[in-house]
Amino acid sequence: MWSLNILPLAKWYDRFRSQAFSTGAAQAVSIIIPARDAADTLSDTLESLLEQTFTSWEAIVVDDGSSDGTAALAEAFATRDSRIRAVSQPATSVGAARNRGIAMTSYDWLLFLDADDWLLPSYLQHMTAAIQADPRVDVVHCGWSRVAPGGEIGRAAFAPERSDPFILFTRYCAIAVPCACVVRREVVEAVGCFDIANRTARDWDLWQRIARGGSRFGAIREVLARYRMRPDSASMSGSRILADGLEMIELGHSADPRVPHARAEYAKGAPRDQVSSARLYFVCWAAGLVLGGGDDARHLLNEIRDDIDPQLDPDIVAAILYEATLLPTCRVPEQWGELWPVVEEKAGEFLTSLEEQAGAPMLARQAGATLVTLIAGAIAESLPH
């Protein structure tokens, strides 16, 4: 009869399992989900995690003072899967809820997932593969699509592929959807996590600080995240967005004491001679939000009355208005045909005033023509062939 000494095999198996776990843990992801009165959507968000093909993750749901069944739903999922934890706190802010989640994490990589968004099943598999492929990377972002209340899925959107995107973040929030990104926990903590006083530009503020510190960004050219549009979102308030955005642009062109180890060339921010163009382009985004709500946007120019830029690019102005104007009513580009008759006159008035403000000859005519071309293309794509 064969006699088998299993002790060496047991030691080998333990060593193999330990190595395999540590390899996976190096890319394991802590997912932070702030949730307030999200009982209608949180289930979809958490189900999308349970469907992930990459399984080394944990999720921390921070119930932020909900008055509906959010806390009970989170607890039910935590009972169902031990990778999910639920914690409740009095109502604070999204930033504060995220910071509490960060303090509870176990892994080196973070994902900020809102309680009404969701991930495609291969999201974590692709993102962690990118992390493993380039050990130098600190942030990895992918593509996303907006989803209208009726379920219509918008077009693919991507942040620019720049390993060093600080200059982009001094002008606008290049990663517009937080769940389209994973980031090293240590670089988030190094710049102080989220600013809890910042309501509408908290993500932009964090990415700008991280980029100023010299973190390396990587990109995946696949749509892996879904962002649910909501008409009551704080990000739809044109005046509030403009005020916070102008503050971020000013900060990006100045020193930021919150980043103690800034990359040398960014310690004092982006060149000051770029401020006016950044402010003029950003007012177009805020104007799009106002126009999309059916209102006159010309009053926003009062906030930047001293800024001029004769070289303002009409194609960029048109592209900004094309995207932003859809958002307040949660439309996708194929629905521009419903919106254009409502906003056409006010959009023309804003462009005329912007041309005068910027001192950019022919801006209104050229930007208007480009905008109409973009809209016509979107409408044509929605028609039966």
The amino acid present at 384, given as its one-letter code, is P
Residue 20 lies inside a defined structural domain of this protein: no
Q: Are residues 217 and 315 in the same domain?
A: no
Q: Are residues 169 and 290 in the same domain?
A: no
Residue 52 lies inside a defined structural domain of this protein: yes
Q: What is the pLDDT of residues 99-150, one digit of tens each?
A: 999 999 999 999 999 999 999 999 999 999 999 999 999 999 999 999 999 9
Q: What is the pLDDT of residues 1-46, one digit of tens each?
A: 333 333 344 433 333 333 333 445 678 999 999 999 999 999 999 9
Q: If you ran DSSP here, which 8-state letter would residue 224 be given?
A: E
Residue 324 lies inside a defined structural domain of this protein: yes
Q: Are residues 320 and 183 in the same domain?
A: no
Q: Are residues 218 and 280 in the same domain?
A: no
- Termini Cα distance of the chain: 76
> CA 31, CA 5: separation in Å to the nearest integer?
43
Q: Give the closest residue to 59 by CA, choosing from 117, 13, 14.
A: 117
Q: Are residues 205 and 279 in the same domain?
A: no
Q: Are residues 217 and 83 in the same domain?
A: yes
> CA 296, CA 240: separation in Å to the nearest integer?
15
Residue 16 lies inside a defined structural domain of this protein: no
Domain that includes residue 39, residue range: 27-236
Residue 124 lies inside a defined structural domain of this protein: yes
Q: What is the pLDDT of residues 231-249, one digit of tens each?
A: 766 555 889 999 999 999 9
Q: Are residues 281 and 159 in the same domain?
A: no
Q: Are residues 204 and 317 in the same domain?
A: no
Q: Are residues 193 and 112 in the same domain?
A: yes
pLDDT of residue 7: 36
CATH number (domain holding residue 36): 3.90.550.10
The amino acid present at 69, given as its one-letter code, is G
> CA 64, CA 96: separation in Å to the nearest integer?
9
DSSP lists the bridge partners of residue 112 as 32
pTM of the predicted protein model: 0.90
Q: What is the pLDDT of residues 261-313, one digit of tens each?
A: 999 999 999 999 999 999 999 999 999 999 999 999 999 999 999 999 999 99
Residue 129 lies inside a defined structural domain of this protein: yes
Q: Are residues 230 and 276 in the same domain?
A: no
> CA 212, CA 265: separation in Å to the nearest integer?
9
End-of-domain residue from the set 187, 212, 236: 236
Cβ atoms within 10 Å of 292's Cβ, excluding its own: 24
Query: How would DSSP label each residue in 124-178?
Result: HHHHHHHHHH-TT-SEEEEEEEEE-TTS-B---B-----SS-HHHHTTS-SS--G
Q: Give the closest residue to 28 by CA, choosing from 130, 128, 142.
A: 128
> How many domains would you assign to the chain?
2
Q: Give the closest residue to 266 by CA, choosing from 215, 213, 314.
A: 213
pLDDT of residue 383: 76
> CA 370, CA 6: separation in Å to the nearest integer?
74
Rg (CA), the chain: 23
